[in-house]
Amino acid sequence: MNLNIINLFLWSCILVYVLWNKNKFYVRIPNNRKYFLDMIIILCVYFIIDFCMGFLVGFAKSPYNHNITSILKNIIIKIVPIIGIELTRYVILARHKKNKVVIIFVTVLFMIAEINMNTLINLYSNKEELFKYICSTILPIIANSILYTYLSLNVSYIIVLIFRLREVIIFLLPILPDMDWFMTGSLSILLSFIVYILFKYKFAKKRKDTKRKRDIFIEKMSYLITIILLLMLVFFMLGIFKYEPIVILSNSMVPSFYRGDMLIFKKLNETELKNIPKNTIIIYSVADQNIAHRVIDRIKENDTVLYQTKGDNNNVADAKLVKIEQIKGIYVFNIKYVGFPSVWLYSYFSKE
């Protein structure tokens, strides 16, 4: 039997049981609308940003079928377990709000419930794909589960369901931003953290209405600055700005920079790409791998410009000339040792 059907049946039974016996649990099903509008606004902003990301990375056709039957099937398979999970989470937490052990146990339990163990097992032998799956799916699930527990404790399961609508609306969209695994995981974790920061500020403000206005202003600005800095850091790592980082994986450019250094390069426009002077260090791609070497010659053939490159630590020039389309930018500066975690991961997966 399909795992989705089993999951749907299981959570349908749990959902019916919880609703039928809600009075026995002595838990009031909340009707708190105070924060609902805030979450709806956050959700709208999320979809606007998500759509705008498509203009940066491109759009891809949705992998889901869009006939009425398929849409309804996907939504039901997704939304029933979500409602079951969040209502059950709320009922348990509402009775054990001060029990940290129960809170942690519930968070971990529902975290595991949302991980596709079948996918995890199938990817175990492929370490690189497993790493991508952990970063793009499992880490966001962990961040989300912590957030859902926090919101359930402080508001209700309804606000969590509003936030999780983004997991259902995706079935209705004909196109989606063509984001890679790193971008998908980073943005999902960042979204959870921002929602946590915003609601933590709101809850703190409610509890401290007697604080001086100056203290409230300073606290508000600190939350705002934290969110802005996190957004800028993630967007920088994703290469959205004019400057972008890469990690050096070899010693071909010693002594200019070394293996494990993080290199910052500047993106160029079309005119600048055709007029890169000699001795400039350029970053270009070959077979999906980035290389940072120095330009030793500029060759013009008709309307085409090609560059001869060489690593400072290499005895001979690179075998192939570099085309303009391959060039990502020019070297600006480097930060020593920061990239070693990426180097170790790359070495590990290369062995695999």
Q: What is the pLDDT of residues 168-195, one digit of tens each?
A: 998 888 888 888 777 788 888 888 988 9
The conformational region for residue 260 under phi > 0 = left, psi -120 to 50 = alpha, else beta, is left
d(CA 347, CA 265): 23
Residue type, 183: M
Q: Which domains are seen in the chain, by residue range?
A: 3-237 (no CATH), 243-351 (2.10.109.10)
Asked if residue 215 lies in contact with residue 166, where contact means CB atoms within 8 angstroms, the answer is no
Tokens for 315?
């005895």
pTM confidence score: 0.70
What's the CA gap between 151 and 241, in Å, rounded? Answer: 33
Q: What is the pLDDT of residue 162?
A: 92
Q: What is the pLDDT of residue 11?
A: 84
Find which of 57-61, 71-75, 131-135, 340-344 is predicted with most confidence, using mean pLDDT: 71-75
Q: In this model, does residue 296 exceed pLDDT 90?
A: yes
32-62 pLDDT, tens digit per residue, is 667 888 888 888 888 888 887 777 777 888 8
Q: Which residue has the higher pLDDT, 210 or 222?
A: 222
Give the C-alpha separation, 265 to 293, whole Å. 12
The pLDDT of residue 352: 47
Q: How confident is the model at residue 211 (pLDDT cuts 50, 70, 90)?
A: low
Measure Cα distances from 259 to 119, 246, 316, 327, 348 in Å: 34, 11, 19, 21, 15
* Cα 195 to Cα 186: distance, rounded to the nearest angstrom: 14
CA distances (Å), 243 to each of 50, 235, 256, in order?
21, 10, 19
**Per-residue pLDDT for 280 more than 60?**
yes
CA 243 to chain centre: 20
Burial class of 288 by CB neighbour count within 10 A (0 to 12, 13 to 18, 19+): exposed
Could you give the residue ranges of the DSSP H alpha helices within 127-212?
127-133, 139-154, 157-163, 166-169, 181-207
Q: What is the mean pLDDT of the chain?
A: 82
CB of 309 closer than 8 Å to CB of 323: no
- The DSSP symbol for 251 reads S
